[in-house]
Amino acid sequence: MVSSPTSLPSSEEHAANGGLVSRRWLLRSGLVAGAMSASGSLVHAEQLRVPEWSSTPGLKMTGYGQPSPFENSVVRPALDLFPEGIGDGSGVSFTPLEKLAGTITPNGLFFERHHSGIPEIDPAQHQFAIHGNVKRSLLFTVENLLRYPMVSRTCFIECAGNSLFNSMDEPQQRTAGEIHGLIGNAEWTGVPLRLLLDEAGINPDASWVLAEGADAAKMSRSIPLAKIVDDEAIIALYQNGERLRPEQGYPMRLVLPGWQGSMNVKWLRRVKVLNAPVHTKDETSKYTLLQKDGISKQFTYEMGVKSVITSPSPGMEPSNPGLHLISGVAWSGAGRIKRVEISADGGKSWADAIVDQNPASKALTRFQLAWDWKSEPAILLSRATDETGAVQPTRSKWYEPYNSNQLFHQNSIQAWSVSSSGGVSNVYI
């Protein structure tokens, strides 16, 4: 059934204040697009013309396809951490979340975080070593690894510093991607690390490993062996079906579903099996959470349950009153997303959003809900719950143990203020 203007949601269909329409109405409408086209459909169309591209043959094939030139504004905004000439290549670029749909992040738009630029690695010369507390130290080439049985796993990778702009005292006016886009979601294909550790023979008293990259920073993190043995650690060679991009760790990276991004070590050159963590620079001076009492939490690996509304959001603003689709993404490092609620009145009332019924574990999950906006000011929030029962906290709740400049593992609720003219801005509630 495709909706007509006569099937616009009545006030009985409203699930919460501010025009949030019950998800049942949208589900009953069958096609989301059909329902959403209900507003403004009485305007009479002009007579159709045949465009130029329908009158002449198009372009030839290409070796590697590129997006339409009309989509050239869909890019990763980059942020250098230091002035020009200082630490060049060390920085971040953000996935433009608000310009994407579905759940998979295209490879060219997947966020970046480099600690010393992107190494240009010749795969024929790259080598990967397993050593330390093992029976046999082993060295592998890329060609070797390509001959092992592989697994595929769709999961997100999120920088532990994601949403860092919301750690500032005043809300920053940036897009959803520029605030929350240090995350991407992809299908990773590669060799289970456990398979290679078994080949080397882990000694029974081993409990940790060190993973180290081949970049100029030799980025290194300690990882509990339990994550590798019990869970799903993969040495990924492919991302979304093609070989990794250089900025994602070509020719190989570690993927640890649900855990801090920097532990998913790129350009992986070495795994050393150990009996204790190394306390590297990036697990002591960084990626630790300093609390008000002066004590810092360390080894807080799992990324918390989180969500963000990507439409409406700054730059993705409602232009006229009527029915709109609220859409966004949710995720949790602990497992599957079970529920996402939306509020249009700053958290006084909530409505359940439509969430994928069978979401992948530790992966981006899309949610949506119809919104009957009457040009009234609104404060839009989304609040995710995962299968362990963990609920996304408010910003003030999240900050209780921390001073406001603590920026790691920021998973608090994002509030978007919508003005009566449709402008969307970042606010703290």
Interacting residues toward other proteins by CB under 8 A: 82-83, 86-87, 90, 115-116, 129-131, 136-140, 144-145, 147-149, 195-196, 198-200, 210, 212, 216-218, 220, 224, 226, 269-270, 272, 274, 276-281, 284-285, 288, 290, 292-302, 390, 403-404
373, 380 in Cβ contact below 8 A?
no
User: If DSSP states are collapsed to H, E and C, what string results for 98-166?
Assistant: HHCCCCCCCHHHCCEEECCCCCCCCCCCCEEEEEECECCCEEEEHHHHCCCCCEEEEEEEECCCCCHHH
Q: How many CB atoms lie within 10 A of CB 25?
A: 21
Min dist. Cβ of residue 163 to other proteins (A): 19
Whole-number minimum distance, CB 122 to other proteins, in Å? 17
Pick between residue 13 and residue 212 the one whose CB is nearest to other proteins: 212
Sheet holding 91-93, edge to edge: 78-80, 91-93, 112-114
**CB 247: neighbour CB atoms within 10 A?**
19
Peptide bond into 123 cis (omega under 30): no
CB of 410 to other proteins, least distance (A): 16
Our CA angle for 255, 257, 258, nearest 5°, is 130
Is the Cβ of residue 331 or residue 416 nearer to other proteins in the bound state? 331
Q: Smaller CB distance to other proteins: residue 148 or 165?
A: 148
Euclidean distance between the first and the last CA atom of the chain, given in angstroms as a whole number: 40
**Smallest distance, Å, CB 112 to other proteins?**
18
Place of tokens 């609720």: 413
CB of 360 to other proteins, least distance (A): 22
Q: How far is the CB of 138 from other proteins (least distance, A)?
A: 3
Q: Compare residues 166 and 406 and give the one whose CB is closer to other proteins.
A: 406
Q: How many CB atoms lie within 10 A of CB 70?
A: 7
With respect to other proteins, which residue has the nearer C-beta, 131 or 174? Answer: 131
Closest CB to other proteins among 71 and 400?
400
Structure tokens at 295: 């004590």
Q: 52 or 205, CB closer to other proteins?
A: 205
Under a CB-based contact definition with an 8 Å cutoff, are residues 310 and 290 in contact? no
Nearest distance, CB of residue 297 and other proteins, angstroms = 5
